[in-house]
Structure formats: C-alpha cells, structure tokens
Chain A
Amino acid sequence: MQSRTMPTRTSCRATEHDLHRRTFLRSAVAGTTAALTFGGLAVGRESPQAARLRAKQKQVLFIWLAGGASQFEMWDPKPGRPTGGPFRAIPTSVCGTHFGELMPKTAKIADRLAVVRSLNTQITAHAIAADLISTGRPKEAALEYPEIGVVLAKQLARRDAELPDYVSIFLSSEGHRRPAVGFLGGRHAPLHLRDSLRPSYIDPPAGLDTQRHTEREHLRQLVSSQFARGRAGAEMVDGYNAAFSRVRGLMRSDHLFDLDREPSAMRERYGDTQFGRNCLLARRMLEAGVPMVKVARGFWDSHHDNFESHRELVTDFDHVFTTLIRDLEDRGLLDSTLVVVFSEFGRTPKINKDVGRDHYAAAWSCALAGCGIRGGVVHGKTDADGVSVADGEVDAADFAATVYSAVGIDPEEHYYVGPRPVPLAREDSHPIKTVLS
C-alpha cells in the first residue's frame, strides 16, 4: 500500500539547512519513513535502476554560473554583429566550432564538451528562472518538485556511504540557493556549504574526547538494538542508525574539506581564486565518492560594464574549468562523472547604454562533459544576432531529461506522490540526443 507524504517547504531561513547533527538525524529518520514511491517502490528502498547506477558509480558535478552568464562572451560568440560585443571568436579543438576569445583553454578541450546553443526557457526573473532550470519544470502550487541535483543524488546514492549524497558549495550570497528537496523530503537535503569550505557543526562538543565519543556511540548502539529487538518500529531505528553512521562518517571525513592536504602544486594549478578553491574541493568530494556535487560561481548579472565583468569572470572560469576537467580526466573520473555548466538564463543580445547586457532566456547556452556525453558536439543554433533560436530549440524539461539520460536514469521513470505519478522529467520532454553518447 502506498502512503502519502506531507508537502515539504522549499524556502528556508538562512541557517535551516546547515548540517547540524540533530537536524541531520531528524531529516534522515524522516527520510526512511517517507511516503513516496518510485516506480512502484518506496523511495526509501532500493530500485533496480538505482542499484545498477550505484554499481557503475556514476557521479554528477553541476557548475552553476549564478546570475546569468553571457552566451555571447562564452559559448555562442557573434563577432562583428551589432549584438556581438568586442570579443572575438576563436577556433577550438573541434573543426568549425568557435568559442569566445576569453576561453582559450576551454577551446582546447572542446572535443570533450557538448555545447547546447539553443535553450529557450522564456523566464527572465532570477529566482523563477533558476527554479525552472533547476527542476526542469515550472513551479506548481500543489506540488514542490525536487531539483534535478537532489533527484540525481538520491538515484546515485551509495548504500552505506559515509559521506553525504550531495555536497553543494555556494559561498556567495547574491542569488544564493539551497538545492530544493521538494517532495523528496529532508532526508535528501544536501550538505550545503555557504560560509566556508568546511561544514559547520561537525566537531564533537567541547570537552568530549574521541574515546568518550566512541563509548557513547557504543552505548547508543546497544540501547538501540535492545529497543528494536522484538518491537515494531525497527525500521525507524535503522534510520537512526544510518543517520548516525553518516554523521560519524562526515566527522571522520573532515580531512576531505581541508584543501591544505592537497599538494601545493595542485592548489596552484587550480589557482588562488574562490572558484578555483571551490572546484578543487568539488574534485576532492567526487574522488571520495560523493555522487552529486554542485559548485556555484556568482554573480554574473552584468547589467553594467558587461565586457569588463565577463573578462574577469570568464577568464577565471576558463582556467579553473579546464583545470578541473583535466584533473578529473587524469584521475580516471571524467568518464563516470557528468559535468554540467549552466545558469538560470543568458544575457541580452542588445548592449544597453551602460555597456551591459540584461537578462535573456529566449536563446542561450549551456555545456556538458564527461559521463554519457558525446564530446565535440554543438547542439542547436541561434540566428545571426543571437536573438532567437534558429534550430534545435530545447527547454528546461529537455535539459532535465538530457541530464538524467546522460547518467543512465530514464527520465520517464516516475515517483508517486500519493496516487499521483510524477515523472522525473516532464512528460513532453525529450533528451537532446545529439549530445548523448
């Protein structure tokens, strides 16, 4: 019998999702008793698809360019056109494909990338547009959808993992977003790093040494097992045990958040910028087995002085992104890790009076690499001035379906929220086959 779930809030106070051990425990336990089903199975239990994915150890990294990066200055240059701005287009490692001149390093790895130049998502308000592309569907009053990353984390989660299924790194405040768990519930809330690269609240209480901490844990296990023995509710105790295990795992994994443990040459390779440090941490998380990682790089909302701001931001992106891709490749992780670069929208073709570009969602770009992606591909095209999509138009639902498909998740699979079937990607979506390997 399927049971129902209570609606879950997606808007939160600033501190609500910080990883407090008690909060984590409550969420985790709630998750094990969640009232959702997936493909006829309770989501708290293993689905055959999830088991297959876990076996293949697929992972996903989202690079979120918060505020809206300009497609003209990055993936879809229009040199010489009135809308093109002053940056040139440069050839890439893929014959006939050009990127903006601020990405000379990315141009050299174009053969590993698939670029989509034909997104039309229509919405130009930051928060609503971010919700749309992050979930793959418009908001509904009756149902709060989880973000794609949360679904991926759930589907790709490893049984008995010590680390969180999802680590989200968003250290700047403008446009700040916590990945919305929607109807999947708090059990699937990511470890969200917003103030520093080290999680809050993972130190034992002051005065509690390791030995005493371990003794307490042994006592807790003993009491738990005695309570569960012969009683109904053992599943809840299992949930508690799993949650405690995760917290202990996180505490034991504290070293993963310490970038000083990286060789200095590697730190230098990523560069001494915040985005560089964030991406280095992301790589450490992926290498340690975290299935879903998101790095946000804000804030690209260049209403004035667009070319100067993109010169700063894209140059940083170009260096860090290519370093990350090569690093993943060197470690044998790129084939199993899907990397997605996207924003909530792009920027206007028209250059405004203050040498800025405003919000634009009618024709913009994103890029993908790694797991499930055919490298060296450009899907879709815009017209000569980048005003509208000329070929291969895709929307937020298609984007979601593509991401799911790339890691082997069938976008037509569905959850049940009560009696209502909810497909992972909207019913009318189509994966962008051109970019899938």
Chain B
Amino acid sequence: MTAKLAPEKFEHAATAEYEGILYALAFDESAHTAYAAGDDRALYAVDVGAAEPKLTKVAAHHDNYVSAIALRGEVVISAGYDGRILWTRAAGGEQLRDVAAHDGWIRDLTLLADDSQLASVGHDLCVRLWDAETGALLRVFEGHAATTPQGYVSAIYALAASPDGRYLASGDRVGEVRVWEIETGKLAATLASPAFYTYDASKRVRSIGGIRSLCFSPDGKQLAIAGIGQVTNVDGFVGPCRIELWDWAAGKRTFTGQDSHKAVLNHIAFDAGGEWLIAAGGGDSGGLLAFWDPSQEKPQHKAKPKGHIQRFHLDQSAGALYLAGHGGLQVWRTPPS
C-alpha cells in the first residue's frame, strides 16, 4: 500500500554530484536505481539507496544534451538535442537502436501506458508517436504554430500521455496545449494558457516562458500545466512560479496555483493518490520544490533544494523524491515513521 504523502517531512538526504545540469531522469523502482543524463551527453546510473550516491556512467551515445529519458524494462530510451532517440541497454550501456526522430532539439519523451508506444516532441513543432520496441514511426501530430504572435520561433517543450493510453498532450512556448487522440490522430482539445508566456514589447523586445511540463491526473480527467507566470524582467525567471489544472475535455481551467517564489517550474506530477501536485524548478528566487493541494492557490509546502531542478521522480512507496538539475541528483526522504 502506498503511503500517504507528507510533504513537510521531506528532507535533503544526499546528492550525487554532477558538474553541469542534469535534464533527464527515470527511475527503476525494482532496482532502486535512477538513470539521469544532461549536458555532458552521457547516461548515468545512480544507486539512490547508497549513503553517498554517485553517478556511474552507463553510456555516452548522444551528440548533444540529453533532454529526456524513459525506462522500458531493462532498456533506457533517451532523447536529445541532437534530434535522436536512442535505445540503450541499462546494464552495460550497449546501444540497441538509433532513430533520427526530429529536426532540431527533442524536448520531451514519454512512454504510453502499456509501454508499447513512445511519443516525443521537439523544436520542429510536432508530436511523433513511435513503436517503443522497433522505433518505427507510427504517427505525426501537427498543429502548434511555428512562430509566436510576435513573429519569433516557437517550440514544443512538454508532453504527457494519459494513464489510459488514449491521449497525448503537448504544450508550447506561447502557452497553448493540444490534446491528441492517439488512435485517430485527431485533435481532442486545445487549451490556451497565455499566462505562461511573457512577451516584453517595450523594455527588452523578447519573450520568456512557455509550458514547461504537463501531466494527466491519475483518473485522466485533469491535465496539470507548469511553468512561470508573467515575468517582470525577461532576462531571467523573474516571475511567479505557476501551475494550472484543467478539465481538459471541457476546456475549462479548474485551478490556478501561483506563488511569489520567482521560478520556472520545469516538472509537475501528481502523487499516487491524485491529492497533491508536486512541482519543481528554479529561477530568480532559487531552486524550488513545491507541493500544492489543488484547492488552494498557494503551495501548502515549499522546500528549497540546492540548485535549479529540471526533473524529479516521486518514489512514494519509499517516501523519497529524486531531483535532477544543476549540480547533480538530489535524494530527498521522509524519515521513517
């Protein structure tokens, strides 16, 4: 039975240190091993149960930053800014498959519910669906605008698959979410969340923001969105961290969470019971790990991890959170009761 989440009890336990920024994270619960990758292009394994966890290099097959990874059995599937999706055997690091997947950076990757299919998004403004075993391209979903309203290049940053494996959601730079029906390829919903995109027309004449993370609720009815609210200085993440919750089928926003902590939230996830929304990121106010009860605007609990967090994994049964970002992989735990 999964323990009830106690956000206020999480404490930093250890850090597996890394020189740069880790962008990608996946977790093998059976082996208590996290897989992480980032700007040095290599894939690492981390024994998160170790008293002093360390990053152990598994492979280095990408030619550029690794942005997302997913674990399919004993195979790590990774996507990178080199536009490739790679299949790598977790034990030994053998490269099993290499697919030129997108024209430009791949920003996110997710396995669908039964692990038979895989989806990816990138700077080429499309969602691609793959056979997770063979790497065959199954479908392409297109429709996100290539440019922002001001005429600059846009991108898709975030991707999520519904728990029932029927839908994919993709979020772009200007705050638009598109929900796609996987079987038909049809657009099921379009959600506009422009508060996640700031364009400064007078001071700096450029933009910042975008939808940086998406996740469906455990029942698949709600879609959570994370990023940063309106930014006062687009030179940085100088705006309130922000999440939204949508009844996506009805096209209705049901909750907005925003806090004065100035940060972009790069990752959002529900806890196992669907009671909490957990989000992490960083910015002008420093790193942030925030827990929202989606009945209140402000997060019920905030913690300040060291550094700017890009991804996390909640291992609820173990009462642990693994945070990947600047400086390495942090292990946070709740003390045994």
Contact = CB atoms under 8 A, between A and B. Distances in A.
B203 A354 contact: no
A128 interface: no
A297 B205 contact: yes
Contact of A355 (B21, B148, B205, B234): B21
B103 interface: no
Nearest to B327: A353
B35 interface: no
B20 interface: yes
Interface in A271-312: 271-276, 297-299, 301-305, 308-309, 311-312
A302 B182 CA distance: 38
Nearest to A271: B151
B204 A174 contact: yes
Interface in B276-334: 282-284, 287, 307-308, 325-327
B131 interface: no
Contacts of A82: 19-20, 39-40
Interface in B7-39: 19-21, 39
Contact of B203 (A88, A173, A302, A311): A173
B45 to A, nearest CB: 22
B202 A312 contact: no
SS class, residues of chain A in contact with chain B: loop
A311 B327 CA distance: 24
Contacts of A316: 151-152
A244 to B, nearest CB: 34
Contacts of B64: 86, 88
A354 B264 CA distance: 10
Interface size bracket, A side? 20 to 34
Contacts of B327: 353
A86 B65 contact: yes
B206 A309 contact: yes
A172 B202 CA distance: 5
A304 B236 contact: yes
A305 B237 contact: yes
Contact of B284 (A273, A304, A308, A351): A304
B205 A299 contact: yes
Contacts of B81: 86
B152 A273 contact: yes
A315 interface: yes
A35 to B, nearest CB: 39
Nearest to B148: A312
Contacts of B205: 171-172, 274-275, 297-299
A89 B283 CA distance: 29
Given A82-B20, A86-B105, A304-B284, A356 B203 contact: no
B153 interface: yes
B150 interface: yes
A302 B235 CA distance: 5
B212 to A, nearest CB: 10
B208 interface: yes
Contacts of A272: 151
B170 interface: no
A313 interface: yes
B88 interface: no
Given A86-B105, A273-B150, A308 B208 contact: yes
Given A299-B205, A305-B208, A351 B20 contact: yes
Contact of A353 (B153, B173, B307): B307
B162 interface: no
A296 to B, nearest CB: 10
A299 B283 contact: no
Nearest to A309: B206
A316 B326 CA distance: 29
B329 to A, nearest CB: 15
Given A312-B207, A313-B206, A354 B153 contact: no
Contacts of A301: 204, 235
Nearest to A173: B203
A308 B237 CA distance: 12
Contacts of B284: 304
A304 B283 contact: yes
B153 A311 contact: yes
Contacts of A298: 203-205
A172 B236 contact: no
Contacts of A302: 235
A127 to B, nearest CB: 15
Contacts of B20: 82, 351
Contacts of B65: 86
Nearest to B41: A80
Interface in A171-216: 171-174
A129 B208 CA distance: 26
A380 B206 CA distance: 31
A355 B153 contact: no
B39 A86 contact: yes
Interface in B218-253: 234-238
Given A86-B105, A274-B205, A299-B204, A304 B21 contact: no
A348 B78 CA distance: 29
Contacts of B307: 353
Given A86-B39, A299-B205, A354-B282, A305 B21 contact: no
A168 to B, nearest CB: 16
A245 to B, nearest CB: 35
A433 B203 CA distance: 37
A174 B203 contact: yes
A171 B203 CA distance: 9
Given A304-B283, A312-B152, A299 B105 contact: no
Contact of A312 (B153, B203, B287): B153
Contacts of A304: 208, 235-238, 283-284
B105 A353 contact: no
B152 A315 contact: yes
A61 to B, nearest CB: 19
Contacts of B153: 311-312, 315
A272 to B, nearest CB: 5
Interface in B63-77: 64-65
24 contacts: A82-B20, A86-B65, A86-B81, A172-B203, A273-B150, A274-B205, A298-B205, A304-B284, A305-B236, A305-B237, A308-B173, A309-B208, A311-B123, A311-B153, A311-B155, A312-B153, A312-B206, A315-B153, A316-B152, A351-B20, A351-B21, A353-B307, A353-B326, A354-B326
Interface of B: 19-21, 39-40, 64-65, 81, 105, 123, 148, 150-153, 155, 173, 202-208, 210, 234-238, 264, 282-284, 287, 307-308, 325-327
Q: Which 7 pairs across A and B sit closest by C-beta, in order of nearness?
A: A304-B236, A299-B204, A353-B326, A174-B203, A86-B81, A301-B235, A86-B65
Given A172-B202, A312-B206, A355-B308, 9 more contacts: A67-B204, A82-B39, A305-B208, A308-B155, A312-B152, A315-B153, A353-B308, A354-B236, A354-B283
